[in-house]
Amino acid sequence: PLRLVNSTSRCSGRVEVFYNGLWGTVCDDIWGPNNALVVCRQLGCGEVLGAPNQAHFGHGSGPIWLDEVQCSGNESSITECAHEGFGSHDCYHGEDAGVVCECAHGGLGSH
């Protein structure tokens, strides 16, 4: 499970991953457009508009679950991308990663 929080839109915000019963954040080390692409797709949102870092959507709390996340862009889930392992990081919440996606419009290929 994945969610975006601390934003006015369902399709933008701080990236949080649910693991081991807790919501946690993703560190922005090597965070970029391919990572955001996977997040946007996983959440059923549209195109990537941005991949802001440095806690653009505020500091998270709880564990930092993922660091050094490196997606090719083809993965169906952020946790399928290369990363250091759950809970393995050298980050603090000032480095929480975010994404901004287009809000997808309801079904049937309408845009």
Is 95 part of a structural domain of the chain? yes
Is 109 part of a structural domain of the chain? no
36: domain CATH number is 3.10.250.10
Q: For residue range 25-39, what is the model confidence (pLDDT) as tens digits?
A: 999 999 999 999 999
Q: Tell me the pLDDT band of 107, cut-offs 50, 70 and 90.
A: very low
pTM of full prediction above 0.75 = yes
Structural domain including 38 reads: 2-101
Over residues 94-110, the mean pLDDT reads 77
98: CB partners within 8 A, 6+ apart = 4, 7, 12, 13, 14, 15, 51, 52, 53, 55, 56, 57
pLDDT of residue 15 exceeding 80: yes
Is 108 part of a structural domain of the chain? no
List C-alpha distances in Å: 26 to 51, 57, 67: 12, 12, 6
pLDDT of residue 108 exceeding 70: no
Q: How many CB atoms lie within 10 A of CB 100?
A: 21
Q: Which amino acid is at 65?
A: W
Average pLDDT, the chain: 93
- Tell me how many domains the chain contains: 1
Is 21 part of a structural domain of the chain? yes
Q: Tell me the C-alpha distance between 47 and 45, whole Å.
A: 7
* Residue 78 φ/ψ, nearest 5 degrees: -60, -30
